[in-house]
């Protein structure tokens, strides 16, 4: 299985604080990698570096053929291949769900309105919101807004999807709605890297779970083995989360 995401000896600091300390891993096409760990362990920073939202100081990152560490990186081209969904939905309140999803394909890819509308409706259907196309964000629950945000990323037809703690602001019922969409995407073969605190989901869906600690990969193991950590630190972190 060819790797579509490669990190090699990646280092990143914020001032005197070392956030990533020699991080290396690869993600194969169609694989799901879940990054877990305490706040401040470097998970979200690693994700932001993969999408060039943060610069790295040392090492190399390659995503879908884009060399993230290269000064000549075309960020616009990168972000057509790599979608990212954050904890906050960041939907435009004055646009309907469908209009939010259509915006990037029409503005960035310059596709026609009719094609964009068909694409937008298809993406909303994929996340179970076909009937909410004409609703504005304020008329949607938090889980529904997050699913619109996922549909918006899908509309760019990315090769890789990044999810940064997308359920952390949601209650358990709404969390379940969003996780089902992500599980369906994984089943359909989407390459995904997600930062999550949902241990059960990571165990069930992830090909690989990466446990981050102090800016390093402390332990990496198959999702199916998450109940059997090899290090005391991961054993303590997982605790009763499974």
Mean pLDDT, residues 211-226 taken together: 96
| 241, pLDDT greater than 70 | no
Confidence at 59, pLDDT banded by 50, 70, 90:
very high
Higher pLDDT, 96 or 69: 96
- Report all structural domains of the chain as residue ranges with CATH numbers, in order of start: 3-91+161-238 (3.40.50.300)
pLDDT (tens digit, 9 = 90+) per residue, 72-94?
999 999 989 999 999 888 899 99
Report the interhelical angle of 97-107 vs 113-126 (nearest 10°).
130
What global pTM score does this model have? 0.93
Instruction: For residue range 170-203, list pLDDT tens digits in order.
Output: 888 889 999 999 999 999 999 999 999 999 999 9
pLDDT (tens digit, 9 = 90+) per residue, 9-23?
999 999 999 999 999
E strand intervals along the chain: 3-14, 17-28, 32-36, 58-63, 66-67, 82-85, 160-164, 191-195, 208-213, 216-222
């Amino acid at each position: 299985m060819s790797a579509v995401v490669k990190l090699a000896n990646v280092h990143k600091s914020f001032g005197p604080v070392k956030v990533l300390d020699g991080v290396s891993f690869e993600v194969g096409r169609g694989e799901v990698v879940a990054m877990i760990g305490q706040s401040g362990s470097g998970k979200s920073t690693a994700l932001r570096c993969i999408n060039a939202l943060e610069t790295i100081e040392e090492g190399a990152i390659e995503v879908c053929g884009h060399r993230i560490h290269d000064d000549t990186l075309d960020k616009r081209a990168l972000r057509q291949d790599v979608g990212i969904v954050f904890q906050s939905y960041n939907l435009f309140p004055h646009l309907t769900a469908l209009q939010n999803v259509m915006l990037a394909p029409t503005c960035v890819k310059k596709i026609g309105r009719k094609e964009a509308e068909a694409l937008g409706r298809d993406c909303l259907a994929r996340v179970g919101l076909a009937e909410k196309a004409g609703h504005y964000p304020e008329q949607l629950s938090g889980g529904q807004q997050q699913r619109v945000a996922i549909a918006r990323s899908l509309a760019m037809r990315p090769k890789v999807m990044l999810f940064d703690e997308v359920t952390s602001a949601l209650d358990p019922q709404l969390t379940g709605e969003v996780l089902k969409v992500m599980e369906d995407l994984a089943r359909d073969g989407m390459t995904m890297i997600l930062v999550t605190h949902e241990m059960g989901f990571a165990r069930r869906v992830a090909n690989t779970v990466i446990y981050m600690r102090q800016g390093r990969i402390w332990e990496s193991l198959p999702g199916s083995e998450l109940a059997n950590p090899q290090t005391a630190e991961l054993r303590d972190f997982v605790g009763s989360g499974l």
